[in-house]
């Protein structure tokens, strides 16, 4: 039986082990057939906001003719669980933030369909383990692919440009890992670099408006910064609890260097 895209349907269960693995393969088949000229295949979950133009611009740093695997580098420490034992400590792209595969890599994965479906128990960790072990393909990071925090609200409510950023600019926020999660802290990022953001649907309308606001700010000589509002806490856990509010502010480019100098001088004194 074929679906609307002319691809054979594969019944996939809804469980978190084999079901998600099946859906990964099915999604790759559909995307490759539906977009025959696409250089990148992006997989996002149903609570990930996608910024297509910005993500495309960010992916230009990679050579899409090669095997490339892009996402938010994450690991699992659940070594005592059978389905994670082989992948324990193995870098992989966290699913909540989404992943991007170069077309050649996505096509090659379909050649391994039977192996993937027979052995996979949790697609994110298994995929990273498979690519590293079999192909020596390691996950590559982009600052605008955000796995955690999963943002639940925005501090900026619009309309109009967000307020000016506090100086020194907000710091990074880190969450110690207890079971699984991203390796890197959440670092304040220029809004123009956002590609895939894990966020509650309530935040989507304002997030979707950010690219247009970036253009508006640029005309006024300003940029937009997104950061995790953690109420002054640099370390929050578990899973960035207490830092799930995404704040947006505007700044001048020169302020980043001035802010860095001021911040370093403060800690050095």
Q: Which residues contact 9 (CB under 8 A, 6 or more apart)?
A: 1, 2, 3
User: What does the pLDDT look like over 154-168, one tens digit per residue?
Assistant: 988 777 899 999 989
Q: How many angstroms from the chain centroid is the CA of residue 225?
A: 17
pLDDT digits (tens, 9 = 90+) for 248-263: 999 999 999 999 988 8
Matching residue, tokens 């953001």: 197
- In this prediction, residue 13 carries a pLDDT of 75
Q: Which two tokens stand for residue 42?
A: 């992006």
Position 266 pLDDT exceeds 70: no
**pTM of this structure:** 0.89
Q: How many CA atoms lie within 13 A of 218 on its CB side?
A: 9
Per-residue confidence band for 2, with pLDDT thresholds at 50, 70 and 90: very low
8 A C-beta contact, residue 41 and residue 100:
yes
DSSP letter for each residue of 155-207: S---SSPPPBPPSSPP--BB---SSEEESS-B--EEGGG--EEEE-GGGHHHH
**∠ CA 260-266-268, rounded to 5°:** 100
Handedness of CA 53, 33, 22, 80 (dihedral sign): negative
> In the prediction, which pLDDT does 10 show?
55
Query: Which one has a higher pLDDT value, 252 or 79?
Result: 252
In the predicted structure, residue 60 carries a pLDDT above the cut 50: yes
The answer to whether 56 and 39 are in contact (CB under 8 A) is no
Structural domains of the chain ordered from first start: 18-141 (3.90.550.50), 145-268 (no CATH)
Residues 223-236 have a mean pLDDT of 95
pLDDT of residue 6 exceeding 70: no
**Which residues have CB under 8 Å from 111's CB, separation 6+?**
none
């Amino acid at each position: 039986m074929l679906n609307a895209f002319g691809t054979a349907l594969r019944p996939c269960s809804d469980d978190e082990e084999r079901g998600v693995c099946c859906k990964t393969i099915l999604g790759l088949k559909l995307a490759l057939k539906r977009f025959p000229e696409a250089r990148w295949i992006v997989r996002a979950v149903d609570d990930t906001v996608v910024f297509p133009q910005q993500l495309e611009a960010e992916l230009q740093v990679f050579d899409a003719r090669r095997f490339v695997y892009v996402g938010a580098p994450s690991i699992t420490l659940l070594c005592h669980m059978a389905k994670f034992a082989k992948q324990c400590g193995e870098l992989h792209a966290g699913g909540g933030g989404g992943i991007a595969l170069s077309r050649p890599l996505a096509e090659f994965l379909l050649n391994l369909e039977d192996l993937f479906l027979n052995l996979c128990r949790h697609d994110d960790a298994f995929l990273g383990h498979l690519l590293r072990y079999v192909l020596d393909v390691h996950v590559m990071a982009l600052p605008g692919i955000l796995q955690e925090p999963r943002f639940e609200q925005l501090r900026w409510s619009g309309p109009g440009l967000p307020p000016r950023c506090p100086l020194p600019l907000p710091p990074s926020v880190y969450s110690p890992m207890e079971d699984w999660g991203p390796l890197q802290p959440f670092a304040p990022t220029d809004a123009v670099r956002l590609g895939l953001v894990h966020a509650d649907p309530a935040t989507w309308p304002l997030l979707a408006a950010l690219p247009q606001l970036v253009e508006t700010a640029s005309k006024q000589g300003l940029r937009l910064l997104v950061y995790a509002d953690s109420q002054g806490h640099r370390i929050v856990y578990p899973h960035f609890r207490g830092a799930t509010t995404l704040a947006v502010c505007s700044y001048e480019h020169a302020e980043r260097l001035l802010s860095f100098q001021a911040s370093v001088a403060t800690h050095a004194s």
